[in-house]
């Protein structure tokens, strides 16, 4: 797959003195006090940010955190804990900038973190006017957020349509390379593992994989929807009942190729939905209504 890579732009000196907008995935888990409990995503973002700084760019970084209400910022929506941790990892101060859509002050060799992008009205629905404003902030847009690249939102899709230059950061480029290698010249048997809460956000890739892989393994809420599609009970678990027919189509596509359908051989069940619930492993056919 031919993509413009940020690493190539930096190597060619094309990022020097330029305003670089990096969409990272800094959506990290936090405890009730707001303290970060696991910082893998922040640490993974550092190479791209450092690459931009070393290239002499003026660097802006943003991410979503949680599921805030657009236009209604709350303290718990803030990326402040992320800015602090990012500063520790980079060994420099990382100012947090709020209300940034209409302009950001940052000089070459500096980095700022732009407050939670999902607070901006129009982000989730990829409002074109918002996308144009964000694109105007930069000379180079870098998508380094593979975990949210499938979402057509303002900072993942819209800005790329209007930016002077749009490219892939090292994390996204590495994932593109791995997927291209696996699908273009796969070793058999080829198994894909897809998990998450929603089928709706991954339906296109699930349909594509159904035509290519020898086995499709699904987990999380996605597995529940496929269990419903297979006529199995899921108790009170999360599922997307309106996508059962789409899930059935994926199952049938797998079966038509002689591949097993993506339903789990075992499931973990519990009555209460809590972190300390005692789980019981059962066959899918043995799951109760509640």
Tens of pLDDT, residue by residue over 230-248, are: 888 888 888 888 889 999 9
Whether residue 123 is found in the same domain as residue 164: yes
User: 173, 207, 223 — which closes off a domain?
Assistant: 173
Query: pTM for the complete prediction?
Result: 0.77
Q: Which two tokens stand for residue 32?
A: 């009730």
Q: What is the mean pLDDT of residues 130-157?
A: 95
Residue 6 parent element (H or E): helix 6-11
pLDDT at position 215 over 80: yes
Whether residue 105 is found in the same domain as residue 200: no
Residue 46 falls inside a structural domain: yes
pLDDT at position 98 over 80: yes
Domain count, the chain: 2
- Dist. CA 141–CA 104, nearest whole Å: 14
Q: What is the mean pLDDT of residues 250-279?
A: 86
Question: Domain holding 16: CATH number?
Answer: 3.40.50.1260
Q: What is the mean pLDDT of residues 144-156?
A: 91
Greater confidence (135 vs 270) lies with 135
Whether residue 88 is found in the same domain as residue 215: no
Whether residue 100 is found in the same domain as residue 36: yes
- Dist. CA 105–CA 28, nearest whole Å: 26
Greater confidence (196 vs 165) lies with 165
Q: What is the mean pLDDT of residues 249-273?
A: 87
Residue 227 parent element (H or E): helix 221-229
Candidate from 30-44, 115-129, 202-216 with smallest mean pLDDT: 202-216
Residue 179 falls inside a structural domain: no
Whether residue 255 is found in the same domain as residue 210: yes
Amino acid 1: pLDDT: 61
User: 173, 198, 225 — which closes off a domain?
Assistant: 173
User: 173, 198, 229 — which closes off a domain?
Assistant: 173
Whether residue 35 is found in the same domain as residue 168: yes
Contact predicate 216/234, CB 8 Å: no
Amino acid 17: pLDDT: 98
Strand partners, 219: 195
CB atoms within 10 A of CB 235: 14
- Dist. CA 116–CA 74, nearest whole Å: 10
Whether residue 278 is found in the same domain as residue 148: no
Greater confidence (139 vs 198) lies with 139
Question: Of 97-101, 216-220, 253-257, where does the model show the most confidence?
Answer: 97-101
Residue 1 falls inside a structural domain: no
Whether residue 199 is found in the same domain as residue 169: no
Mean pLDDT taken over the chain:
92
Residue 25 parent element (H or E): none
- Dist. CA 91–CA 1, nearest whole Å: 35
Residue 169 falls inside a structural domain: yes
Domain with 249 in it: 186-286
Whether residue 104 is found in the same domain as residue 195: no
């Amino acid at each position: 797959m031919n993509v413009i890579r940020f690493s190539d732009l930096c190597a060619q000196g094309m990022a020097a003195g330029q305003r670089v907008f990096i969409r990272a995935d800094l959506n990290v888990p936090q405890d009730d006090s707001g303290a970060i409990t696991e910082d893998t995503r922040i640490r993974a973002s550092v190479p791209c940010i450092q690459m931009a700084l070393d290239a002499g760019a003026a660097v802006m970084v943003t991410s979503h955190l949680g599921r805030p209400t657009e236009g209604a910022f709350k303290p718990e929506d803030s990326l402040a804990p992320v800015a602090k941790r990012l500063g520790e990892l980079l060994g420099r101060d990382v100012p947090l900038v709020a209300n940034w859509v209409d302009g950001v002050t940052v000089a070459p060799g500096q980095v700022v973190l732009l407050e939670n992008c999902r607070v901006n009205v129009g982000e989730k629905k990829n409002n074109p006017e918002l996308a144009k404003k964000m694109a105007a902030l930069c000379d180079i847009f870098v998508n380094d957020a593979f975990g949210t690249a499938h979402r057509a939102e303002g900072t993942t899709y819209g800005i790329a349509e209007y930016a002077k230059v749009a490219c892939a950061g090292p994390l996204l480029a590495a994932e593109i390379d791995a997927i291209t290698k696996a699908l273009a010249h796969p070793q058999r048997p080829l198994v894909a593992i897809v998990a998450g809460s929603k089928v709706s956000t991954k339906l296109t890739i699930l349909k594509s994989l159904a035509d290519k892989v020898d086995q499709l393994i699904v987990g999380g809420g996605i597995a529940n929807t496929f269990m419903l599609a297979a006529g199995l009970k899921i108790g009170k678990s999360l599922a997307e009942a309106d996508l059962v027919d789409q899930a059935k189509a994926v199952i049938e596509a797998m079966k038509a190729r002689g591949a097993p359908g993506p339903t789990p051989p075992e499931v973990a069940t519990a009555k209460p939905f809590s972190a300390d619930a005692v789980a019981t492993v059962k066959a899918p056919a043995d799951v109760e209504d509640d």
